[in-house]
Amino acid sequence: MKERIKKLFRGSVIGMVHLWPLPGVPGHPGMNRLVEEALKDTEALIAGGVDALLIENMHDFPCVREQEMGPEVAAAMTRVAASIRRTFGTKIPVGVQVLFAANRTAVAVAAAADLDFIRAEGWTYGHLSDKGWTEATAGTVVRYRKSLGADEVLVLADIKKKHASHAVTADVPIADVAANMELQRADAVVVTGSTTGKAPSIREIRMVNKATRLPIVIGSGMTARNVGPFAGLCQAVIVGSSIKRLGEWHRPVDSDRVRRFVEAYREARG
């Protein structure tokens, strides 16, 4: 395992780098501007004290599923990721998530840009999202990762993920999903609230903790004000919206907000 990921699950704050629209999406600013804005947000996150970064094409709404994407998505995200690596070095762990549920694409980007992890939606158990039906992808993605020689790229896998209906698996408790994740070769489980900016249930996090030995990552709704009760229940937190200007996800990163969040999280962990 690479040195830079050994501490990823020891109380890390993972800061979101939300990319501007990619090529082909309304509002795309051109590749040079896309990279420039991503580097600005990365600089603000690092200045604020985050422990790791997660690059995501958050502004690509309305999102499409992986089978509907063109090669420009992987190309653009690889260029951004490689620019972040080249500019800020290899000491800080960097991951990638490609919306929507484009887990093979994320592995390809990670392998090409020397990234450390991916965040995967639709890893196990199919579900209905606002983009349509989402298949489980663990089997195909694990094999694809092996074919690229990228076994060191970790998988942070969402369970009962946000922005989705889980009525089809309503008879499968979240603890059972978590218990299955190790068998499905996930390296950590991500627990979220129902939507972006909404915190998960503390009760559910406790259930997940009892069900799996894998690290728990909280994936939504964390702020400097509410992170305290969650800090001791997880090994890492992913934060995006609350560290942006005015606390709105579509705005640039505010390094002062980042710093306040990091301080609150670390204080809560003791």
Please give the chain's pLDDT, 270 residues, in tens: 556 677 789 999 999 999 999 999 999 999 999 999 999 999 999 999 999 999 999 999 888 989 999 999 999 999 999 999 999 998 899 999 999 899 999 999 999 999 999 999 989 887 667 777 678 899 999 999 999 999 999 999 999 665 655 566 677 788 999 999 999 999 999 999 856 777 899 999 999 999 999 999 999 999 999 999 999 999 999 999 999 999 999 999 999 999 999 999 999 998
pLDDT at 164: 57
For position 162, what pLDDT does the model report? 53
- The per-residue pLDDT for 195 is 66
Q: Is the peptide bond before 100 cis (omega within 30 degrees of 0)?
A: yes
| pLDDT given at position 198 | 78
Distances (CA, A) of 50 to 15, 42, 110, 146, 227: 6, 10, 20, 30, 15
Residue listed under structure tokens 């420039």: 36
CB atoms within 10 A of CB 9: 18
Facing residues of 131 across strands?
Answer: none
pLDDT of residue 125: 87
- Bridge partners for 134 per DSSP: 127
Q: Which residues pair with 218 in a beta bridge?
A: 191, 237
Confidence (pLDDT) at 46: 97
Pairing of strands 127-129, 164-165: antiparallel
pLDDT for the residue 194: 58
Phi, psi of 129 (to 5 degrees): -110, 180
Structure confidence at residue 180 (pLDDT): 93
For 208, 209, 223, 242, 244, the CA distances from 261, given in Å and listed in that order, are: 24, 23, 6, 8, 11
Q: What does the pLDDT read at residue 163?
A: 62
Q: What is the H or E stretch that residue 260 is in?
A: helix 255-269
DSSP secondary structure code for residue 18 in this structure: E
pTM for the model stands at 0.94
Six-digit token string for 233: 């229940």
Predicted pLDDT of residue 135: 85
Per the structure, the complete domain to which residue 133 belongs is given by 3-269
- Domains in the chain: how many in total? 1
Q: Give the three-class secondary structure for 146.
A: helix
Q: Are 3 and 215 in contact (CB under 8 A)?
A: no
